[in-house]
Amino acid sequence: MSGPEYPALYLKRGEDKRLRAGHLWVFSNEVDTAKSPLPEFPVGGPVWILDASGKPLGTGYANPSTLICARLMDRSGRALDRSLITHRLNVALSLRERIRTSPHYRLVFGESDGLPGLVIDRFDDLVAVQLNTAGMQVMKDEIQAAIEKVLKPSALVWKNDSSARALEGLPEQVDVAFGAVPERVRVLEGGLAFDVDVLQGQKTGWFYDQHDNRDRLQPYVKDLRVLDLFSYVGAWGIRAAGFGAAEVTCVDASAAAVAQIEANARLNGLQDRVSAVRADAFEFLRAARAEKRHWDVVILDPPAFIKRRKDFKEGALAYRRINEMAMQVLARDGILVSASCSHHMGRAALLEAIQGGARHLDRQVQVLCQLQQAQDHPVHAAIPETDYLKGYISRVLPA
């Protein structure tokens, strides 16, 4: 076995099929623990991954204390070093520069960009980085050096506060690696500007994954009344106003988010058409129905209601409830934009939730457009877990 001198992680007979088909994950029950006792592997350390006969499948890293106990990084057996990371960053950058007109995008989307466990969002010359696995945490210095070489950013933020880190036995931390990070960082999208909080905001401060879907709003909102629920900093609602919506109401439970919606509306000269309300989305819809308020377009982009497979039944019911309640405040011939970022809520299940709510209200749903994550969040064809965002733009009519 030529290449770097890493410990060998042997798989059981027949457990190499998924990796050979293109997947990158190794589960702990697939490992031949007689040949390679998992507790002996350092957390996050590099390994060779081999099939039962000893044939190398490639190099990766291991975490013996997690269900996904190893991740394959390079099938040719290259060392997990700065050179490999730099190469992968350059390949990722070449795509983003083709599909985006400004340097505001997700530069690295984990497995889909050959860097499992790594997320990098770019805000012009500032980058926010998430190290979501122990293996990426071990390579932190090499990752920073590669980012500096490829992008030459003025500032780098380690936004290591995702729930995924707890599963890997890692602490939640937000640190500035270098540079000056302003209180608000500007994002450009669709000819509009948005100020976001990279240090304290949700995820890395902005949701690039809905960029392409927000672009699709234009034909549906001009001169109409729009309700944007779970609005965060107002991306959907303010984009709708930018497309000519007559009146936009943005709703979020966070006071900080509501203040930022108002600031972003002013930033774009849209404050006369955009208002922000602090409220729980379910409670807002309940009150709006009681008051017989209606909107021509309702946008639902909630946080994940289903984070674990065992929570599917309860989460699916929440998706049905919120969609049904949204239809109750839709105008007679209205547009519903409904999305889910729960991987466990599949595309068919989301449509079933929408249709279930519609039938209960004696409504008819015409699906006009299917939504998916933006191009800077590419789906790895062999890893269904990377295809997490789905949605529909639908017309809702009386039955």
Question: What are the catalytic residues?
Answer: 341
Q: What is the residue whose two structure tokens read 């609005």?
A: 231
CA dist 72 to 26, 77, 275, Å? 8, 10, 48
Q: CA–CA separation, 363 vs 358, rounded Å?
A: 5
Contact between 116 and 385 (Cβ < 8 Å): no
Angle between the 312-328 and 347-360 helix axes, to the nearest 10 degrees?
A: 50
Contact between 250 and 240 (Cβ < 8 Å): no
Characterize the bridge pairing of strands 56-62 and 46-50: antiparallel
CA dist 88 to 33, 110, 115, 143, Å? 31, 11, 7, 11
Contact between 240 and 228 (Cβ < 8 Å): yes
The 126-131 sheet, strands edge to edge: 104-109, 118-123, 126-131, 155-160, 173-178
Characterize the bridge pairing of strands 155-160 and 126-131: parallel
Q: CA–CA separation, 42 vs 7, rounded Å?
A: 10
> How many CB atoms sit inside 10 A of residue 83's CB?
12
Phi, psi of 215 (to 5 degrees): -60, -25
Phi, psi of 17 (to 5 degrees): -60, -45
Q: Collapsing DSSP states into helix, strand and coil, what is residue 140?
A: helix
